[in-house]
């Protein structure tokens, strides 16, 4: 079991920025990813990054606005979110992969954080 702790969520106006952090102990050689879940909706993929940080994968809805990165020395992954929109409002979760690398599927990830709330006001 790997413990993941997210932080950095909050309330921001549309057009603003936030940076989420995910600190995790253990398997840093795995793909890591961000997912989000809006009220009344299923959890959806946001972005993934390989262990070296050289390869990334983004959902179409956030491409060009969000940037995923990681610092393995600090065992931390980040999600820089710019040009935020009200539809980005959700609980954001980080996860460590255990299956196919760079996947956008929930079932390819085995360890999850507790989530951090991001609210974007219009």
Which whole number is the average pLDDT over 100-121?
Answer: 94
Give the residue among 95, 69, 79, 91 at the shortest CA–CA distance from 17: 79
Q: Which residues pair with 112 in a beta bridge?
A: 95
Which whole number is the average pLDDT over 65-78?
Answer: 94
Give the residue among 81, 80, 110, 105 at the shortest CA–CA distance from 95: 110
pLDDT tens column, 13-42: 999 999 999 998 656 678 999 999 999 999
d(CA 84, CA 101): 27
Instruction: Give 73's contacts (C-beta < 8 A, 6+ positions apart).
Output: none
Q: Is 41 exposed, middle or buried (0-12, 13-18, 19+ CB in 10 A)?
A: exposed
pLDDT at position 100 is 87
pLDDT at position 66 is 98
pLDDT at position 30 is 87
Alpha helices in 42-105 (DSSP H): none
pLDDT at position 86 is 97
């Amino acid at each position: 079991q790997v413990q993941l702790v997210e932080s950095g969520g909050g309330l921001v106006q549309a057009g603003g920025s936030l940076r989420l952090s995910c600190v995790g102990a253990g398997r840093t050689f795995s793909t890591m990813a961000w997912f989000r879940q809006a009220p009344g909706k299923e959890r959806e993929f946001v972005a993934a990054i390989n262990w070296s940080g050289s390869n990334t994968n983004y959902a179409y809805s956030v491409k060009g606005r969000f940037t995923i990165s990681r610092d393995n020395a600090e065992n931390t992954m980040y999600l820089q979110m710019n040009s935020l929109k009200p539809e980005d409002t959700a609980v954001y979760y980080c996860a460590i992969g255990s299956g196919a690398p760079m996947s956008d599927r929930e079932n390819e990830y085995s360890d999850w954080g507790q989530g951090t709330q991001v609210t974007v006001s219009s």
